[in-house]
């Protein structure tokens, strides 16, 4: 029955707006209460988190590519904003529907809650109780929706002079529902935070390396001001993963299981790892999604146990050719067995730049393999190594159209001056970084407009597994617009190809070029 909320104005639109608000607030309650219950029973089972994770796994490849291209390492924030918008619109529509069909609208909330609960239940990271946060949240949301909508439809027979009270009562009820939802969400966040690994990360004291990395040469940093730090601080190290919320892994219960085509299964505890002879190495990690000139790369000093030593304990069988590493969150990577058993510093890393691994970078243990893109090697929160064959198992990104093998491609970029910037005429210092992990960089060349390629000066080499910086003095920059290009040469004598190819399926190629305006 129609009842205007505000005397003197068109009742239907105002009532619909109020119902949409009721729908939105019911969604806030659903997610807020769900988050609170998850905080208590199983933080990864929070409805928003499992919705985000499920969405990431189901997103078509082109959309994911577009998201990483558009938002880079902010892709998760973009997803969150997108989800809030979509859920918000849906919730408002459910609210309007509830005006006429309250039971149906409540049913939709509960069914969506059940779907979110089942999604949470089926995620590898969640436990036995993962169904409940979403279900309880949806029940609370359905209840809140009913409570608010009944204040709009009411018995509908109040005399005109109580209508204003009715409107105030609705807004008061709406505010109360909003507060319950928000406080629940905050409570859930606080409880989950108290259960997180932050304290464990902080408390961990890493053992000294049995084989420390040689010191970084004094001239490893390019002398050109503005070139990135040659050792990337943990706080600015790029982060790429499919985990909407960072997995929290307790080092006391963490285990690494090595199994599959092996003579004997091996299980390691975190203490076993820390008690081993650990190795320290500078290794540059790069993402296969990095575009030419992009910044999805970072160089750190890792501390860890060589993977080959763990594999040697298990004894891989002759027909094996791949190790499928698996994270607690279900992510998998396929790494050629030979790369993990040769003499390179492929590590089960516990330390990053002298600190325990930050949670976002894989605490307590991740893999780091020189020479391969992260998606086929650098499994964070690793818990399982299955010795197998490429013919028998397929990793997370390979299922989604990326190559099953991902050796890093020779690459170089200009960091100074920045593309599109204006510089003064005369000598201009140009600098940047090049990489060819596990092969090493032997030269970098710069080209101005379509002139000859000119050799840049290489900065000192940390190791062949780390990137190498360079500098070049552009002696006579003349006024006008100019194009600068860079290419690298590796220790095998190979020159970086100028042929452009996209990141998918196995890494972008092409020369990085920038345009600068000389004043």
Residues engaged in binding Mo ion (CB under 5 A): 240, 287, 374-375
Q: Pick the closer one to ligand MTE by CB: 200 or 349.
A: 349
**Spatial distance between the Cα atoms of 34 and 41, rounded to a whole number of angstroms:** 10
Rounded to a whole number of angstroms, the minimum distance from the CB of residue 52 to Mo ion is 18
Rounded to a whole number of angstroms, the minimum distance from the CB of residue 430 to ligand MTE is 27
Identified binder of ligand MTE from the candidate list 170, 254, 282, 375, rule CB under 6 A: 375
Asked if omega into 499 is within 30° of 0 (cis), the reply is no
On the 0-12 / 13-18 / 19+ scale of CB atoms within 10 A, 208 is exposed
Neighbours of 146 (CB within 10 A): 18
Segment lying near ligand MTE (by CB under 6 A), choices 40-48, 275-283, 376-384, 453-461: 376-384
Segment lying near ligand MTE (by CB under 6 A), choices 201-209, 237-245, 260-268, 428-436: 237-245
Please report which residue ranges of 130-240 form alpha helices under DSSP H.
131-153, 163-194, 198-203
List the x/- string, 326-345, binding to ligand MTE by CB under 6 A.
-x-x-x--------------
273: left (phi over 0), alpha (psi -120 to 50) or beta: alpha
Q: Please report, as residue ranges, which positions from 291 to 330 form the binding site for ligand MTE (by CB under 6 A).
A: 298, 327, 329
The residues near 516 (Cβ < 8 Å, ≥ 6 apart) are 417, 419, 420, 421, 422, 423, 428, 477, 481, 482, 484
**Spatial distance between the Cα atoms of 158 and 161, rounded to a whole number of angstroms:** 8
C-beta nearest to ligand MTE: residue: 374
Residue 242 partner contact from Mo ion, ligand MTE, none using kind-dependent CB cut-offs of 5 to 8 Å: ligand MTE
Number of residues located near ligand MTE, criterion CB under 6 A: 20
DSSP helix/strand/coil, 114: helix
Q: Pick the closer one to Mo ion by CB: 184 or 284.
A: 284
Q: Pick the closer one to ligand MTE by CB: 51 or 139.
A: 51
Q: Six-digit token pair at 349?
A: 């890393």
Residue 197 partner contact from Mo ion, ligand MTE, none using kind-dependent CB cut-offs of 5 to 8 Å: none
Q: Is 400 in the site for ligand MTE (CB under 6 A)?
A: no
**Spatial distance between the Cα atoms of 510 and 423, rounded to a whole number of angstroms:** 25
Fill in the DSSP letter of residue 316.
B
Q: Please report, as residue ranges, which positions from 345 to 364 form the binding site for ligand MTE (by CB under 6 A).
A: 361
Q: Pick the closer one to ligand MTE by CB: 67 or 416.
A: 67
Q: Pick the closer one to ligand MTE by CB: 221 or 335.
A: 335
**Spatial distance between the Cα atoms of 519 and 210, rounded to a whole number of angstroms:** 54
Helix crossing, 47-58 with 75-100: angle to 10°?
110
Identified binder of ligand MTE from the candidate list 237, 282, 302, 363, rule CB under 6 A: 237
Q: Pick the closer one to Mo ion by CB: 184 or 286.
A: 286
Q: Pick the closer one to Mo ion by CB: 240 or 292.
A: 240
Rounded to a whole number of angstroms, the minimum distance from the CB of residue 311 to Mo ion is 23
- Rg from Cα positions in the chain: 28
**Spatial distance between the Cα atoms of 510 and 502, rounded to a whole number of angstroms:** 9
The residues near 415 (Cβ < 8 Å, ≥ 6 apart) are 226, 227, 228, 431, 432, 433
Q: Pick the closer one to ligand MTE by CB: 236 or 479.
A: 236
Rounded to a whole number of angstroms, the minimum distance from the CB of residue 396 to ligand MTE is 7
Segment lying near ligand MTE (by CB under 6 A), choices 14-22, 90-98, 169-177, 241-249: 241-249
Q: Pick the closer one to Mo ion by CB: 297 or 436.
A: 297
Residue 415 partner contact from ligand MTE, Mo ion, none using kind-dependent CB cut-offs of 5 to 8 Å: none
Q: Six-digit token pair at 381?
A: 């929160």
Residue 16 partner contact from Mo ion, ligand MTE, none using kind-dependent CB cut-offs of 5 to 8 Å: none
Rounded to a whole number of angstroms, the minimum distance from the CB of residue 506 to Mo ion is 12
The residues near 432 (Cβ < 8 Å, ≥ 6 apart) are 222, 227, 412, 413, 414, 415, 416, 444, 469, 470, 486, 512
| CA 252 to each of CA 257, 317, 363: distance values in angstroms, whole numbers, following the listed order | 15, 31, 12
Q: Pick the closer one to ligand MTE by CB: 46 or 232.
A: 232
**Spatial distance between the Cα atoms of 20 and 14, rounded to a whole number of angstroms:** 10
Q: Is 379 in the site for ligand MTE (CB under 6 A)?
A: yes
DSSP helix/strand/coil, 42: coil
Segment lying near ligand MTE (by CB under 6 A), choices 33-41, 176-184, 202-210, 240-248: 240-248
Largest Cα span, the chain: 90
Q: Is 402 in the site for ligand MTE (CB under 6 A)?
A: no
Identified binder of ligand MTE from the candidate list 363, 381, 402, 467, rule CB under 6 A: 381
Segment lying near ligand MTE (by CB under 6 A), choices 120-128, 239-247, 415-423, 461-469: 239-247
Asked if 248 and 197 touch (Cβ cutoff 8 Å), the reply is yes
Identified binder of ligand MTE from the candidate list 47, 374, 406, 510, rule CB under 6 A: 374
Interacting residues toward ligand MTE by CB under 6 A: 237-243, 285, 287, 298, 327, 329, 331, 361, 374-375, 378-381
């Amino acid at each position: 029955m129609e009842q205007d909320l505000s005397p003197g104005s068109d009742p239907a639109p105002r009532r619909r707006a109020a119902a949409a608000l009721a729908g939105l607030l019911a969604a806030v309650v659903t997610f807020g209460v769900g988050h609170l219950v998850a905080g208590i029973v199983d933080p990864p089972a929070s409805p928003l988190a499992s919705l985000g994770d499920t969405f990431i796994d189901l997103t078509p490849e082109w959309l994911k590519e577009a998201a990483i291209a558009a938002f880079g390492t902010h892709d998760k924030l973009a997803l969150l904003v997108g989800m809030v918008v979509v859920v918000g619109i849906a919730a408002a529509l459910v609210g309007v529907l509830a005006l006429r069909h309250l039971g149906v609208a409540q049913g939709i909330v509960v069914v969506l809650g059940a779907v979110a609960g089942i999604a949470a239940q089926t995620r590898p990271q969640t436990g036995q109780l993962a169904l409940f946060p979403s279900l309880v949240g949806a029940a609370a949301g359905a209840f809140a929706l009913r409570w608010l909508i009944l204040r709009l439809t009411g018995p509908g027979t109040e005399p005109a002079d109580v209508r204003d009270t009715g409107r105030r009562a609705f807004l008061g009820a709406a505010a109360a529902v909003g507060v319950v939802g928000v406080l629940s969400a905050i409570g859930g966040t606080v409880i989950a935070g108290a259960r997180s690994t932050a304290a464990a990360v902080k408390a961990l004291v890493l053992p000294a390396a049995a084989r420390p990395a040689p010191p970084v040469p004094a001239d490893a940093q390019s002398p050109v001001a503005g070139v990135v730090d040659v050792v990337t601080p943990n706080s600015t190290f790029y982060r790429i993963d499919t985990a909407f919320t960072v997995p929290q892994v307790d080092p006391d219960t963490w285990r690494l299981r090595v199994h599959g085509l092996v003579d004997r299964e091996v299980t390691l505890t975190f203490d076993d790892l820390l008690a081993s002879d650990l190795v320290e190495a500078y290794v540059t990690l790069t993402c296969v999604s990095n575009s030419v000139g992009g910044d999805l790369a970072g160089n750190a000093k890792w501390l860890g146990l060589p993977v080959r030593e763990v594999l040697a304990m298990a004894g891989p069988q002759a027909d094996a050719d791949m190790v499928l590493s698996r994270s607690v969150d279900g992510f998998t990577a396929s790494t050629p067995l030979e790369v993990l058993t040769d003499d390179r510093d492929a590590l089960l890393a516990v330390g990053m730049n002298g600190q325990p691994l930050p949670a976002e970078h894989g605490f307590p243990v991740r893999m780091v393999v020189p020479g391969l893109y992260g998606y086929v090697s650098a499994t964070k929160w690793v818990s399982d190594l299955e010795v197998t064959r490429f013919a028998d198992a397929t990793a997370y990104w390979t299922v989604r159209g990326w190559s099953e093998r991902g050796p890093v491609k020779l690459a170089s970029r200009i960091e100074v001056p920045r593309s599109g910037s204006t510089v003064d005429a005369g000598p201009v210092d140009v600098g940047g970084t090049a990489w060819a992990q596990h092969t090493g960089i032997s030269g970098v060349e710069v080209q101005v407009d379509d002139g000859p390629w000119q050799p840049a000066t290489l900065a000192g080499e940390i190791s062949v597994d780390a990137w190498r910086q360079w500098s070049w003095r552009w002696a006579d920059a003349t006024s006008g617009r100019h194009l600068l290009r860079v290419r690298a040469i590796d220790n095998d004598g190979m020159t970086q190809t100028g042929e452009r190819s996209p990141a998918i399926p196995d890494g972008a190629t092409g020369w990085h070029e920038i345009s600068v305006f000389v004043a």
